């Protein structure tokens, strides 16, 4: 998403109370979607919606990190490279419309269901309309993960200069953030990732930084299939519904893709 007008609205900068606790780790989807009829699938309380720029055949092996996907469909990377969904039809319709730039846009919304997906829910336990800052342990784990990657000499030798320049700027930002976190100050997830503004830390506020695949891999390494976080909407339209981002597509799918998996398994 290169157009600044299409950036998700930034989260409130460190305005959340330090005393709020996140919902934390949870499992989405306790019913096997391969056993559901189309009607049962469409009325399932765990149903999620993906707003896309164009129609495509969803498969668990689909490469949402491919150049074609980023160009022709979504390309969202504010919370890592992943498959972005929401629990609101209207929010998904809006996401779809702001991604269409040719002709008369019509909302394209895909219905999906997760199954046994372990996600990190960063909304507050007492108020699911607000995010909770990431924990100090989470920040430090990401800091060490990025540090190891950044100092890898093999990566340095093979990187284009502009990519290395962006990653260096983020490394400098991450060190400023760490000094703040070490004093006990909270930090919002998107601020930590450098995809939301925060003047005191001179956040780069990039919509799609090059290191977001690294964060997706980090989340999987931490044992998570996805993440829940309130981004605030796109295209200037404020939304209170959360983003459900999946990094492991084996844990989510459309009705047809789940049925296809069942057929492949039985064969």
Q: pTM score, two decimals? A: 0.85
CB 213, CB 145: distance < 8 Å: no
What's the pLDDT at 158? 74
pLDDT above 70 for 2: no
What's the pLDDT at 60? 74
CB 171, CB 192: distance < 8 Å: no
Q: 236 vs 87, 193, 229, 232, CA distance in Å?
A: 19, 22, 18, 9
Cα–Cα distance for residue pair 64/84, rounded to 1 Å: 10
- Number of folded domains that form the chain: 1
pLDDT above 70 for 15: no
Cα–Cα distance for residue pair 169/53, rounded to 1 Å: 31
Residues 6+ apart with CB under 8 A from 102: none
Backbone phi, then psi, for 253, in 5-degree steps? 180, 165
194: Cα within 13 Å, side-chain hemisphere: 25
Residues 6+ apart with CB under 8 A from 243: 79, 84, 85, 86, 227, 228, 229, 230, 231
| DSSP string over 179-236 | HHHHTT--B-HHHHTT-S--GGGT----SS-TTHHHHHHHHHHTT-SEEEE----STT
Per-residue pLDDT of 16-74, as tens digits, reads 456 789 999 999 999 999 999 999 999 999 999 998 877 778 877 655 555 554 454 45
Backbone phi, then psi, for 256, in 5-degree steps? -65, -40
Per-residue pLDDT of 145-181, as tens digits, reads 999 999 987 777 777 888 889 999 999 999 999 999 9
Per-residue pLDDT of 83-117, as tens digits, reads 999 999 999 988 888 777 666 778 889 999 999 99
Q: Which domain holds residue 231?
A: 1-267
């Amino acid at each position: 998403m290169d157009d600044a007008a299409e950036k998700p609205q930034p989260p409130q900068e460190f305005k959340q109370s330090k005393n709020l606790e996140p919902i934390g780790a949870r499992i989405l989807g306790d019913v096997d979607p391969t056993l559901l009829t189309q009607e049962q699938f469409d009325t399932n309380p765990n149903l999620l919606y993906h707003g896309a720029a164009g129609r495509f055949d969803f498969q668990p092996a689909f490469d949402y990190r491919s150049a074609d996907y980023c160009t022709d469909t979504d390309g969202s990377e504010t919370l890592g490279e992943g498959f972005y969904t929401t629990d609101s039809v209207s929010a998904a319709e809006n996401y779809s419309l702001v991604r269409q730039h040719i002709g008369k846009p019509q909302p394209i919304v895909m219905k999906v269901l997760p199954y046994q997906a372990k996600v990190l829910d960063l909304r507050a336990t007492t108020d699911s309309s607000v995010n909770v800052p990431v924990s100090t342990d989470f920040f430090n784990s990401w800091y060490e993960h990025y540090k190891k990657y950044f100092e890898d000499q093999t990566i340095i030798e093979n990187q284009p200069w502009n990519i290395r320049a962006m990653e260096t700027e983020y490394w400098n930002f991450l060190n400023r953030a760490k000094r703040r976190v070490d004093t006990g100050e909270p930090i919002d997830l998107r601020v930590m990732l450098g995809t939301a503004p925060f003047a005191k830390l001179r956040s780069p506020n990039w919509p799609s930084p090059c290191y977001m695949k690294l964060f997706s891999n980090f989340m999987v390494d931490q044992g998570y299939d996805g993440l829940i976080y309130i981004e605030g909407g796109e295209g200037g339209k404020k939304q209170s519904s959360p983003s459900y981002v999946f990094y492991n597509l084996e844990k989510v799918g459309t009705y047809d893709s789940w049925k296809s998996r069942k057929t492949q398994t039985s064969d």
